[in-house]
Structure 1
Amino acid sequence: MKFNYIESTPSRTYFQGTPLEDCLDSVTCLYEYNEWMKDYFHQYKRLGDHALSRVFSHHFTRGPYMPIPIYHATSPSKTFPHVEAFLPKKSTQHLLMKVDATNQSQRTLSERLVSSNPFRWISTEPPPKEIYLVDDIYTTGTTLHQAAYIAKQNGVQIVRGLCLAETFLKKE
């Protein structure tokens, strides 16, 4: 087994007919979430092996990027802003803050779809015209859609999602 590069465009229909429907202009996932990727994220995120951010950083060269923020008062299991660590500092913009400590991975699909938006816009500068919203794992797409919704509400015209890995929900 190995990291399986897929460069997929996930198709999820959960947001049709909701305010989140058209907030993402595109989404690209680079790898399949397999056992190798699961082990990588355990070592990187849970054990805090910062050096592993360089493994995939070569994929992030376009910019400008807006990483999905972590909740700052979160548990010790998240030791650093792991998504931000992939990105080149010169093209990273911090425009959002997460105000809800709940991780989407702790919720079922039904719970994710009715959850309130955990993000707030924090920038006082004029918004960029276009931005790449970056997250680590794409399952339902709720996190990206919620963050993109806030970005569009605050004047960003084009929001492209970019995720390192794509996975699928287990049956509820």
Structure 2
Amino acid sequence: MRRCLVCDEVMKEALTWGTLLKRGEAKAICKGCEAKLDKITGERCSLCSRGLAGHYSSGGTCFDCSRWERDKEWSGYLSKNISLFHYNEHLKEIIAKYKYRGDYALAAIFVPYLREVLQDMEHDLVTCIPLSAERLRERGFNQAQALADVIGIRTVEVLTRIDTEKQSKKSRHERITLPQVFQVINEELLRDRSILVIDDIYTTGTTLRQAAKALKNAGSKAVSSITLSR
């Protein structure tokens, strides 16, 4: 008997040969909780996955990404970010339980969605946004690394984090004007390779662009990313 990882309700399913064969791929949440996840669909920004609607669109990219790309300090570093869901209240609560309250098991919710997207993302190696030593001690695990672990994808540690102050406590202006917070390690692994970076939330794009900048300056060919939410 399986229970939904979000609401704890018993998950009922019709027993057929199909369900038996796919038992190992069974979803970890009930249909009701899954329905509350707001998948990003339709026309989206070609760089960050933000849904494009009217005033958000500017030649295929949202206004935020257009500003990033006009800035010589940041232009051309992050090739593409794919986000799975809009950051609505339902997902916000799930991520809070997962990320800040240490409910590691919730990573299983995102397995089928991540696997589907990863099939179409070209890369030579995968890495995760690292936590500072202080944050890792505080949370007990790296939420981005846990996502890679549950889908069985091998990652390589190529970045360390310099800062310790929580990004979630910073304003948008403070985030986008931060000095570099990442340092490259294992630089020899990066040369002329396409890197895929895994993280949980795309907020302003600063964290991923800083990681991409560090990786490309160290010799990587291209940097793309995948995140749960945007």
Answer yes or no: same fold by TM over 0.5: yes
CA displacement at 1:39 relative to structure 2:
0.9
State yes or no: 1:30 paired with 2:84.
yes
CA displacement at 1:76 relative to structure 2:
5.8
Q: SS of the residue aligned with 2:135?
A: coil
* Aligned residue in 2 for 1:5: 39
CA displacement at 1:41 relative to structure 2:
1.0
CA displacement at 1:48 relative to structure 2:
0.7
TM-score, normalisation: structure 2: 0.66
- Residue ranges of structure 2 left out of the alignment (5+ in a row): 1-34, 51-61
* Aligned residue in 1 for 2:216: 152
State yes or no: 1:17 paired with 2:71.
yes
* Aligned residue in 2 for 1:170: none
Equivalent AA in structure 2 for residue 140 of structure 1:
T
1:153 and 1:6, CA in 2 relative to 1: closer, same or farther beyond 3 A? same
Q: SS of the residue aligned with 1:53?
A: helix
State yes or no: 1:74 paired with 2:135.
yes
* Aligned residue in 2 for 1:137: 201
CA displacement at 1:105 relative to structure 2:
1.6
* Aligned residue in 2 for 1:169: none
CA displacement at 1:78 relative to structure 2:
2.4
* Aligned residue in 1 for 2:165: 102
Equivalent AA in structure 1 for residue 194 of structure 2:
E
TM-score, normalisation: structure 1: 0.87
Contact 1:45 1:79 in 2 (8 A): no
> Which structure has the higher relative contact order (CA within 8 Å, separation 6+)?
1
- Larger mean CA deviation between 150-159 and 84-93 belongs to 84-93
Contact 2:187 2:218 in 1 (8 A): no
In structure 2, how many angstroms separate the alpha carbons of the residues matched to 1:97 and 1:14?
27
Q: SS of the residue aligned with 1:162?
A: strand
* Aligned residue in 1 for 2:94: 40
Contact 1:98 1:118 in 2 (8 A): yes
CA displacement at 1:57 relative to structure 2:
2.5
In structure 2, how many angstroms separate the alpha carbons of the residues matched to 1:76 and 1:42?
17
In structure 1, how many angstroms separate the alpha carbons of the residues matched to 2:111 and 2:146?
8
- Residue ranges of structure 1 left out of the alignment (5+ in a row): 167-172
In structure 1, how many angstroms separate the alpha carbons of the residues matched to 2:40 and 2:92?
16
- Larger mean CA deviation between 25-34 and 127-136 belongs to 127-136
Contact 1:53 1:86 in 2 (8 A): yes
User: Which structure: greater helix fraction?
Assistant: 2
CA displacement at 1:158 relative to structure 2:
1.1
State yes or no: 1:50 paired with 2:111.
no
Q: Determine what percentage of the aligned residue pairs are the same residue.
A: 28
CA RMSD of aligned residues (A): 2.0
State yes or no: 1:123 paired with 2:177.
no
In structure 2, how many angstroms separate the alpha carbons of the residues matched to 1:112 and 1:91?
30
Q: SS of the residue aligned with 1:83?
A: helix
Please say which structure displays the higher CA radius of gyration.
2
In structure 1, how many angstroms separate the alpha carbons of the residues matched to 2:136 and 2:225?
26
In structure 2, how many angstroms separate the alpha carbons of the residues matched to 1:120 and 1:156?
14
Contact 1:119 1:147 in 2 (8 A): yes
User: Which structure: greater strand fraction?
Assistant: 1
